[in-house]
Amino acid sequence: MSVTVVGSLNEDVVVTVDRLPGRGETVIGSSVAVLPGGKGANQAAAAGRLGTGVHMVGRVGTDPAAGRQLAALADARVNVGRVHRTEGVPTGSAMIPVEAAGGENLIVVVPGANAELTPADVDVESVHRAGVLLLQLESPLDTVQAAAAATRGTVVLNPAPPQPLPADLLARVDVLVPNEHELRRLTGAPSGELSPGELAELACGLGVRSTVVTLGARGALVVPAEGPAHVQGPPPVEPVDTTGAGDCFCGALSSALDRGETLADAVRYAVTAAALSTTGAGARGALPDDDEVQALLPQTPAATPVG
């Protein structure tokens, strides 16, 4: 089996700050780093570090950034044969200020070549034959829909950045992986703190088979197609930078599902991998391998049921 990721490749400019700026405010950064990124590529890199047979489908420009992104994915054991170079547009990019203490961040993305990914690009064997097809929303929606329709594998959709989704796409999704903010946007829920039970009720109204809501430092809420919802907490770590933790979660979840693990076990594995990913700088600075995840799994707490 294999994991195929259809999605974005970006070059990230990460700026370390004492605190994130407010609207209209200027803050002074203490350092800057240029790193590989993009939700799709980050998720593919995470899956590649954890397993074998990972494929990336996407687009980059013909600029120097393109070569750097392809090399970084290949170094993470990802097959980049279906990542196309695109004339006339730059490789996608992102500006990411990150707080020095705690690792909280903001992200502004410029799509570049990612916006040129077409439905024809995903009509390929690596999509058709994928064990798990992992999708996000930094690519055109019609391309995401075409990929979901073309695969015979399990469809995992990370609905980020959030936007209204057609019912026929949601009907093809086996596991939807939003964070709390994305779940609110998808369901039209008002702002305000919600309990895990209330989040589970929102998830049940989306029309997908299963939903896993990432909760940051609290872990993840699992709302399965059958059976009760539960919260899977993370293991204890000292976070340095939370950039890309959600992407690591999605890649790890897909890798575990591709190996045949149950959704509950796959989420436990993914929560552990995501926690490890926060212990270094940048979206890929601390992506773990399988040995590291397995070593930390005994410290990951048991799941707790949602009342």
C-alpha 259/C-alpha 262 separation (Å) is 9
Can you read off the two tokens belonging to residue 102?
């705690």
Active site includes 18?
no
Contact 171, 187 (CB under 8 A): no
d(CA 127, CA 150): 7
Q: For residues 178 and 250, is the Cβ–Cβ distance under 8 A?
A: no
Query: Which one from 12, 121, 241, 247 is the annotated catalytic residue?
Result: 247
Residue labelled with tokens 């872990």: 219
Phi, psi of 245 (to 5 degrees): -60, -40
Contact 184, 200 (CB under 8 A): no
Find out whether 73 and 56 touch, Cβ atoms under 8 Å.
Answer: yes
Q: Are strands 3-6 and 54-60 parallel, antiparallel or unpaired?
A: parallel
Give me 232's structure tokens.
């899977």
Q: How many CA atoms lie within 13 A of 196 on its CB side?
A: 21
Structure tokens given for 3: 């994991």
Q: How far apart are the first and last CA of the chain?
A: 36
Query: What angle is formed at CA 277 by the lines to CA 261 and CA 156, rounded to 5 degrees?
Result: 40
Per the CB < 8 A criterion, the answer to whether 21 and 97 are in contact is yes
Contact 149, 119 (CB under 8 A): no
Catalytic residue numbers?
247
